[in-house]
Structure 1
């Protein structure tokens, strides 16, 4: 006869309380997804980020100090090495600051040429960001698609100035070389088909559950907080703040063409992605209008005191040869004073503050690099999220360490 099991006796279980200790984790500076030599000290509670401390300086080269010891024109190639992914913007921002210091007016054709190349560089920068961000998150196919278009535009840069990355095409008073018919035709051809390419990227990402899970409601920052941290560019506009230097303080040919400023709503990583996608479409509109309206005229101001004369003049005119010799040996004499000039680069506001005491070299040059400013909000935007999100959060800024460390 089966017997019933005796009733279980009540037991008092005195289990220790579960505790998690704070874990310090060093991310970088060799991590491939930091896209440079960035180190981040993460304080973790389990997998939750409670603090993140970026450590900079691994790529410090003393660029600002170098500027104090060479002439204004000699510093142009050094600006290529700041944001080495999009060197044209560094050149553009720097020569605009010099022109403001010298009170130089740039010819109208040169302004259009500058605007076209700046927007081509914006597209290149956003394509590079989209490809690498998607690759880090797990959407590898997008990387190959975006780099396919990027190569086409870099080939145009090679035809224009002979270089893919370190360009040095912008000059004080204008540009180094005018467009030829091939360059104009190549840019037209690219712009005509570019909307279809953007649609391809959208097809791969906009309904991708992994992409949406890794970007929506991640690294949310309100417009007020974005302003408080000094954010700019797509990162700021992704939070719904309508601020773009191309509209607020127009330069180049931006006030002569029709275009809109895309704005996000939530201020999350997905909104910043959407803003960059829309900006590429707007860049295409700007480029096409500038090409359609491209005026005739010189591509460089004739101011031999400040701007090197054309080779044709140098070889045929003694005075031009003397001016060229002086400019390339001693530089031009800048008036005393100090100026700040900001330019809307694809990462945000890229500014140069120059103090002149006269002579051919700046007394002090300070670079407002958007990547450096954006790093200040890293802890704020990462706090409370999972460690798996840290690479997504880092990528949402589109940071290049060359301009962070300078």
Structure 2
């Protein structure tokens, strides 16, 4: 075969299933081997940062959910923490424990989506169905606390929207759910949301073992992932990688341990790290992270059961008064209308707050000029830094390995094309 025929340029995506609809890679190929990979972004661009600069602070919390739309509450957490730094306020202790708990619920949701979709990209169909079985249970938790299954807008500067509910919604009888099956489905839902989370975590450890039975020693899975997309620790640091991408290369960096926020300093958990820095190691890291998240949730549930209390600061300038207070206090009523129409002014200054989101360090940098909206907002998305390294990592690999590499990045384009 002549050199001219062997060398060609091909489009990978955006319609390719593994490109998840919005990533276009221009690949320069030498037969089946990748010479160069050029990621093209911008197909989903929706100017989140600019939109947030035109609205009062509280009205942009919903935009955060729509960035990495698989890690909704973690995005909110970084944004509201930056606002809290500017305002100089501290959420009540119970609100911080709830945030810690819901961040870990979000981490499991994200990793279940990752393990299901990455397995599907590489040919493991059954795992996708199993992962979504557990995912649906946790989506019910999102719905119970916020009323929405995805875009929760649950965190607020000064705390959370409301306390955890005393009861979980139950399945009702239908042509698809009858008798014994209905009773089993509602078994965890007889008590409070905390009872539900406790039962879910006890069961979830066994479910993770099931996932590992399907994949960890599966020879096809290992052929597709072992030795593929090796990222040495020096390269991971040079490209600004965080999260499982960095820990998979053997660097135990986790903001929950290194720069604790919320109540992470008071819970016990381990940081899983890889050895080879390949796709297989990053898979093992994410699987172990799900176990650690379940451990953290169990500890949060125990504390929340024993310690009732407020979940929002008592400050009418940033938190709405209760309906009872508005009935008796005209000043509270005025604060209510002012808060939801104009918002609140934040002192001049700048603040950066970051959280250990499921994909890595997600940060919000806000500059305030004293108005009721950000003068500038800049978001630090982990996926953007990871995708930038695509060419350096896949060069010399075969075309099917590009699919494995995109999967192991755990890319969601909402945060990249923000």
CA distance in 2, matches of 1:149, 1:386: 34
- Residue by residue over 1:139-191, the C-alpha shift from the partner in whole angstroms, topping out at 9 and shown as x without a partner, is 10110110000001101211111111111111111001111332111111100
User: Matched residue of 2:163: which SS?
Assistant: coil
Equivalent position of 1:276 in the other structure: 286
CA distance in 2, matches of 1:229, 1:321: 51
Pairing 1:34–2:6 present: no
Farther off after superposition, 315-324 or 349-358: 315-324
- Residue by residue over 1:230-269, the C-alpha shift from the partner in whole angstroms, topping out at 9 and shown as x without a partner, is 0001111000111111111111111111111111111000
Unaligned residue ranges in structure 2 (runs of 5+): 167-191
Pairing 1:318–2:303 present: no
Equivalent position of 2:264 in the other structure: 254
Equivalent position of 1:152 in the other structure: 137
- Which residue, out of 133, 142, 146, partners 1:161? 146
Pairing 1:222–2:207 present: no
- Which residue, out of 284, 289, 297, partners 1:287? 297
CA distance in 2, matches of 1:22, 1:89: 44
Equivalent position of 1:91 in the other structure: 76
Farther off after superposition, 379-388 or 176-185: 176-185
Unaligned residue ranges in structure 1 (runs of 5+): 1-15
CA distance in 2, matches of 1:26, 1:19: 18
Equivalent position of 2:253 in the other structure: 243
Q: How does 1:96-107 map to 2 (within 5 A)?
A: 96-107=81-92
- Which residue, out of 208, 213, 229, partners 1:203? 213
Equivalent position of 1:331 in the other structure: 343
Contact 1:122 1:280 in 2 (8 A): yes
CA distance in 2, matches of 1:100, 1:267: 36
Farther off after superposition, 75-84 or 192-201: 75-84
Equivalent position of 1:349 in the other structure: 361
- Which residue, out of 43, 57, 62, partners 2:42? 57
Give TM-score, length-normalised by structure 1. Answer: 0.94
RMSD: 1.3
- How many residues are treated as equivalent by the alignment? 391
Farther off after superposition, 173-182 or 66-75: 173-182
Contact 1:239 1:263 in 2 (8 A): yes
Distance 1:18 1:28, change over 3 A: closer
Pairing 1:263–2:263 present: no
CA distance in 2, matches of 1:271, 1:185: 34
Equivalent position of 2:182 in the other structure: none
Equivalent position of 1:5 in the other structure: none
Contact 2:65 2:73 in 1 (8 A): yes
User: Matched residue of 1:385: which SS?
Assistant: coil
Pairing 1:129–2:114 present: yes
CA distance in 2, matches of 1:37, 1:19: 30
Contact 1:86 1:165 in 2 (8 A): no
CA distance in 2, matches of 1:171, 1:149: 27
CA distance in 2, matches of 1:313, 1:244: 42
Contact 2:92 2:312 in 1 (8 A): yes
User: Matched residue of 1:303: which SS?
Assistant: coil
- Which residue, out of 370, 386, 394, partners 1:382? 394
CA distance in 2, matches of 1:75, 1:62: 12
- State the Cα distance separating 1:17 from its structure 2 match: 7.4
- State the Cα distance separating 1:36 from its structure 2 match: 3.1
Distance 1:17 1:189, change over 3 A: closer
Farther off after superposition, 25-34 or 128-137: 25-34
CA distance in 1, matches of 2:310, 2:343: 23
Contact 2:24 2:40 in 1 (8 A): yes
CA distance in 2, matches of 1:50, 1:288: 48
CA distance in 2, matches of 1:279, 1:297: 30
- Residue by residue over 1:253-289, the C-alpha shift from the partner in whole angstroms, topping out at 9 and shown as x without a partner, is 1111111111111100001000000100000111101
CA distance in 2, matches of 1:82, 1:315: 38
Pairing 1:363–2:363 present: no
- Residue by residue over 1:56-81, the C-alpha shift from the partner in whole angstroms, topping out at 9 and shown as x without a partner, is 00100111111111000010111111
CA distance in 1, matches of 2:378, 2:350: 11
CA distance in 1, matches of 2:144, 2:2: 68
- State the Cα distance separating 1:101 from its structure 2 match: 1.4
CA distance in 1, matches of 2:327, 2:119: 52
